[in-house]
Structure 1
Amino acid sequence: MKVLIADQINQKGIEELEEVAEVVARTDITPEELVDDIKDFDAIVVRSRTKVTREVIEAAPSLKIIARAGVGVDNVDVEAATERGIMVVNAPESTSITVAEHTMGLVLSMSRKIAIADNSVKEGKWEKSRFMGMELNSKTLGIVGMGRIGSQVVIRAKAFGMDIMVYDPYITPEAAAELGVEVVDLETLLVNADVITIHVPLTPETKYLISKPQFKIMKENAIIVNCARGGIIKEDDLYDALTQNEIGGAALDVFETEPPKESPLLQLDNVVLTPHIAASTSEAQRDAAIIVAKEIKKVFQGESPKNVINMPVMDPETFQLIKPFFGLAEKLGKFLIQTAQGNINELDITYCGELAEIQKHDIITRMILQEVLNPILTEPVNLVNAPGVAKNRGIIITEGKRSDSKGYKNLISIKMKADNNEVSVEGVFDKEPKIVMINNYQVDVETKGTMVIVCYKDIPGIIGSIGTKLGEHDINIAKMQVGRQQPGGEAVMVLKVDQNVSRDVEDDIKALAHVYDAVSVNL
């Protein structure tokens, strides 16, 4: 077996690989050389410099695994690798402690005004009275997002004697009790926290999660820290809050635009800024190298690695049978997480028709779970770890088969139970994925773009009032589907719209007479 080290990694990782393979380090390899030479290798290790493109993958008949010694895989064509049955792995846990420590460093820098005091002394000044600080002991830390990094921040904050509040709609009571944290809603956290740290992924739901309304309810001396992703905090609103003394300070390692050359935040004293270095320590780079080296060793030894970004290797015949349903599984998973109210507790998945004859449904189930879990967690969920992550979050998964597929060749039926609602959805694959049933109401919905799903009483005028309300918000309706079981009873309407629909619009629709519920879904 041969492994190509295409970017600089820690020597510990190389030593780990040398136990099972011939290791060739060519950290200055050009894209052209990589295409020419990759045919000789069974594995490749990269960081950020080297791009593993479709061209590279198609030139690699022996390649079994692509390892990214870090968290992201933006420089790897995962789709092309999946098509060739090549595993893509990374090292998501390598940076948890490093980012948590950087978070605490920023908290200390802000609470004790270390950065601006340092600048002052270097300018020849001695302004002791200017830099009155704040103790962390007995202060309240509010953590938004409780994945690997958030959990590590809890451990470190407790050492400083801080009380901890957590906002994470998906944390289980058992996990919260084990960590010794108080779970609250976002508003309660923002009102009460002296220090707020962000540890959630950037998604449509978390985009500008912290903006003007949130700053308005924070304490005047509150400090906010973001080592997660730029765009979760709206920087223009943060600037206003800082200059108008609505909050005490901010510390950012990530920005909406990087580098933030034109940002007005650069001019403020009550801000500490670092250049996206929260994950940059020698220990994190060492751990990343060792983690991916061990993943490669597992593959070479016929074992299953745990940090697989794409699907595990399978025989070509099974892959061809399952591949058409990947898109349907993805869409159904996205639909479920966006319609769930609170924690998802149970998923009952039934495979019908032709799908019932395929033995390996496990891969499709894992793909559904991957799409359900990824939007709510900072660490990547993949086809290998999805069942374990679901189990840790208390989600009960049931799988079944049924020969009857309601007249379709194939059908996936899913019933979801969440804290505050239950949703059932059925989908088929016929050239394209389609949703054909929502909450036992028959529909025919293409799984693209934005849709608004409204549950209402089937009486004259309701459909018109819903359309009017969308029009008031300048939202154009492209298509409409209505499903009902009997006239005058409960009905479901699915509206394909041209614009994204905010929660305020959803609330306005739900406030209409005879409307029971409304939710928007982006597929």
Structure 2
Amino acid sequence: MAPKVLVSDKLSETAVQIFRDRGIDVDFEPTLGKDKEKLLEVIGQYDGLAIRSATKVTADVLEKATNLKVIGRAGIGVDNVDIPAASQKGAIVMNTPFGNSITTAEHAIAMMFAVARQIPEADASTQAGKWEKSKFMGVELTAKTLGVIGCGNIGSIAAERGKGLKMKVIAFDPFLSQERADKLGVEKVELDELLSRADFITLHVPLTDKTKGILNAENIAKTKKGVRIINCARGGLVDEAALAEAIKSGHVAGAAFDVFEVEPATESPLFGLPNVVCTPHLGASTTEAQENVALQVAEQISDYLLTGAVTNALNMPSVTAEEAKVMGPWIKLAEHLGAFVGQMTEEPIKELNVILDGVASQMNVKALDCAVLAGLLKPTNAEINMVSAPVIAKDRGIKTATTTQDKSGVFDGYIKIVVKTANRERSIAGTVFSDGKPRFIQIKGINIDAEIGAHMLYTTNRDEPGIIGALGETMGKHGVNIANFTLGRKDAGGDAIALLYVDAPVEDSVQNALKSTGKFQNVSSLSFAI
């Protein structure tokens, strides 16, 4: 019997035809997604579900989806899908993460033109019957310096477009390698230098703890007088109130925003200010982009239902069902190892070597590699998954290598990763015990046995008396409960480490208190998706 797919949102007829051409039984009901009761009534008939944003795939919908094997979202955002519930149900969740890149980058360039020449205000004035030619004095883009904050998939396209406009392009991205920068023809700089030099600044980074408020009052004050700021990435990257004050003072000449801290944006400190251009999150809104993601999701769902091929899955590695039973804990371990190093490394990663020993070397090597990369890169972009991670790593110029070897120690198998930057090398190893729980067994060449928790604290120090006391006293004083405590050292009096599994994230104030004791070389709060 042919697989059956429901298209419950507005996908193009061309996308729907892809299902038919490949022999899949498809029902095209573009308004059904808005009728939850009807969706609950019929969803049990289908093997696949193709959606945009209108259909809400909640836990109760999934409960009724007795045959559902795959959910495909035409677009990158999957806020309307309960991914944990889908995973528990055994349904793969796919998206199309790269289908909107060109459209979003082009919108940023369009916004840059609009704010450079005051086009919206000039249009409104002219259509009102005025002829205020002298009022709207603009600036050229040619020979100006474009500062790109975030030079990943979309940012690199914006940079290339800027170069095509004969602009000088500089980029800040801690994970942009010099090789990749050279290939793009951009100058790699630190954030402060970009702020001081750029005539136009465009942001293309995800919203994370590290990027939230990246253009706050302090950083806006560091910008070149007369700068124009474009944000078509995520609301919250720029302090809108601080930017509004900088525009009022004349320090910032203009701004163009497609995204806002609160959306839908019915009010903002930026609204009504001179030479501020605002659009309602139109970055992905072109006919071509909407068509591209629709075609992609139809192909991906068809591939999975007909051949088992998995593309752009958010909740499943590229492994068979038989492999998944054995590999699940090892996949999780690989992600944890990558996440440890990813959270500890704030400079561009040049090389990654994954060493698979014993039983780990007999598993799906590619899946384990992808899991390591996903963990490594996810601290900088929560949307990265095991499928997109290798593409993003390649774009960032990270050289990856995998070594497999026969059992070489006391464990049946282990995974070790070694990461190199321009200035240092980091390594960490782990294994899976018979209870199926991943463990860290070595950090910096120091043997340990550490249970992995959602919230952890990592410290480095010299092996000397008082370390345990300093940790226990400081954590207790700040009300941080320790669930598990692991110590390790190379030699007596030499390098030592501590890894604490705690019940809640360790706040900056606690970390600063530990640093102030003078006993620790490094204090880092870490988090893991358990």
TM-score class normalised by the smaller sequence: 0.7 to 0.9
> What is the 5 A alignment of 1:379-390?
380-390=383-393
* TM superposition shift of 1:215: 0.8
Structure 2 residue matching 1:323: 3-state secondary structure: helix
* TM superposition shift of 1:482: 3.7
The equivalent position to 2:179 in structure 1, one of 171, 174, 189, is 174
* TM superposition shift of 1:381: 3.6
Equivalent residue, structure 1, for 2:374 = 370
What is the one-letter code of the residue matched to 1:323?
G
> 8 Å contact 1:87–1:313 — kept in the other structure?
no
* TM superposition shift of 1:483: 2.6
CA distance in 2, matches of 1:357, 1:159: 47
> 8 Å contact 2:172–2:194 — kept in the other structure?
yes
What is the one-letter code of the residue matched to 1:18?
R
Q: CA RMSD in A?
A: 3.3
CA separation of 1:319 and 1:496: change in aligned 2, threshold 3 A: closer
The equivalent position to 2:289 in structure 1, one of 281, 284, 287, is 284
> 2:249 aligned with 1:247, yes or no?
no
The equivalent position to 1:7 in structure 2, one of 6, 9, 23, is 9
> 8 Å contact 2:177–2:350 — kept in the other structure?
no
Structure 1 residue matching 2:496: 3-state secondary structure: strand
What is the one-letter code of the residue matched to 1:222?
V
* TM superposition shift of 1:70: 1.1
| CA distances 1:114-158 after superposition (whole Å, capped 9, x unpaired) | 222233334444333322111111000011112221122123222
Structure 1 residue matching 2:122: 3-state secondary structure: helix
| CA distances 1:172-224 after superposition (whole Å, capped 9, x unpaired) | 33322222111111111111010011111111111112212211110110111
> 8 Å contact 2:177–2:349 — kept in the other structure?
no
The equivalent position to 2:427 in structure 1, one of 418, 424, 436, is 424
* TM superposition shift of 1:361: 4.6
> 8 Å contact 2:360–2:415 — kept in the other structure?
no
After alignment, is 442-451 or 128-137 more displaced?
442-451
> 2:138 aligned with 1:136, yes or no?
no
> 2:416 aligned with 1:413, yes or no?
yes
> 8 Å contact 1:306–1:385 — kept in the other structure?
no
CA separation of 1:461 and 1:79: change in aligned 2, threshold 3 A: closer
Aligned residues: 517
Structure 1 residue matching 2:219: 3-state secondary structure: helix
* TM superposition shift of 1:343: 2.2
What is the one-letter code of the residue matched to 1:345?
K
* TM superposition shift of 1:511: 8.7
Equivalent residue, structure 1, for 2:91 = 86
CA distance in 2, matches of 1:146, 1:315: 34
CA distance in 1, matches of 2:204, 2:55: 28
Structure 1 residue matching 2:138: 3-state secondary structure: coil
CA separation of 1:80 and 1:450: change in aligned 2, threshold 3 A: closer
| CA distances 1:228-287 after superposition (whole Å, capped 9, x unpaired) | 111111223222322333322221111111123342222322322211111111221111
> What is the 5 A alignment of 1:66-77?
66-77=71-82
Equivalent residue, structure 2, for 1:458 = 463
> 8 Å contact 2:232–2:259 — kept in the other structure?
yes
> 2:327 aligned with 1:306, yes or no?
no
> What is the 5 A alignment of 1:362-511?
362-376=366-380, 380-392=383-395, 393-401=397-405, 403=407, 406=410, 411-429=414-432, 430=435, 433-443=438-448, 445-459=450-464, 477-479=480-482, 481-494=486-499, 501=507
CA separation of 1:244 and 1:434: change in aligned 2, threshold 3 A: farther
> What is the 5 A alignment of 1:52-63?
52-63=57-68
Structure 1 residue matching 2:402: 3-state secondary structure: strand
Structure 2 residue matching 1:24: 3-state secondary structure: strand
CA separation of 1:385 and 1:149: change in aligned 2, threshold 3 A: closer
After alignment, is 200-209 or 341-350 more displaced?
341-350
| CA distances 1:462-500 after superposition (whole Å, capped 9, x unpaired) | 7778899999xx965543654323332222234567555
What is the one-letter code of the residue matched to 1:148?
N
TM-score normalized by the length of structure 1: 0.87
What is the one-letter code of the residue matched to 2:404?
G
CA distance in 2, matches of 1:515, 1:465: 10
> 8 Å contact 2:319–2:367 — kept in the other structure?
no
> 8 Å contact 2:203–2:231 — kept in the other structure?
yes
> 8 Å contact 2:11–2:30 — kept in the other structure?
no
Structure 1 residue matching 2:428: 3-state secondary structure: strand
> What is the 5 A alignment of 1:309-320?
309-312=314-317, 314-320=319-325
CA separation of 1:510 and 1:131: change in aligned 2, threshold 3 A: farther
* TM superposition shift of 1:395: 2.6
What is the one-letter code of the residue matched to 2:328?
K
* TM superposition shift of 1:330: 3.0
| CA distances 1:41-85 after superposition (whole Å, capped 9, x unpaired) | 232210011122344445445434321111112222333444455
* TM superposition shift of 1:311: 1.9
CA distance in 2, matches of 1:508, 1:395: 38
CA distance in 2, matches of 1:87, 1:495: 34
Equivalent residue, structure 2, for 1:127 = 132
CA distance in 2, matches of 1:245, 1:501: 37
Structure 1 residue matching 2:99: 3-state secondary structure: helix
Structure 1 residue matching 2:166: 3-state secondary structure: coil
After alignment, is 148-157 or 482-491 more displaced?
482-491
> 8 Å contact 1:85–1:313 — kept in the other structure?
no
What is the one-letter code of the residue matched to 1:398?
T
Equivalent residue, structure 2, for 1:37 = 42
> 8 Å contact 1:141–1:162 — kept in the other structure?
yes
> 8 Å contact 1:41–1:63 — kept in the other structure?
yes
Q: Structure 1: which 5+ residue stretches go unaligned?
A: none
CA distance in 2, matches of 1:452, 1:463: 13
CA separation of 1:242 and 1:102: change in aligned 2, threshold 3 A: same
* TM superposition shift of 1:226: 0.9
CA distance in 1, matches of 2:465, 2:124: 70
| CA distances 1:73-100 after superposition (whole Å, capped 9, x unpaired) | 2222333444455332222222111111
| CA distances 1:339-393 after superposition (whole Å, capped 9, x unpaired) | 124222333334557x548633543332221121234359x54333434443453
Q: Structure 2: which 5+ residue stretches go unaligned?
A: none
CA distance in 2, matches of 1:85, 1:449: 24
* TM superposition shift of 1:414: 2.7
> What is the 5 A alignment of 1:101-112?
101-112=106-117
CA distance in 2, matches of 1:314, 1:486: 42
> 2:24 aligned with 1:18, yes or no?
no
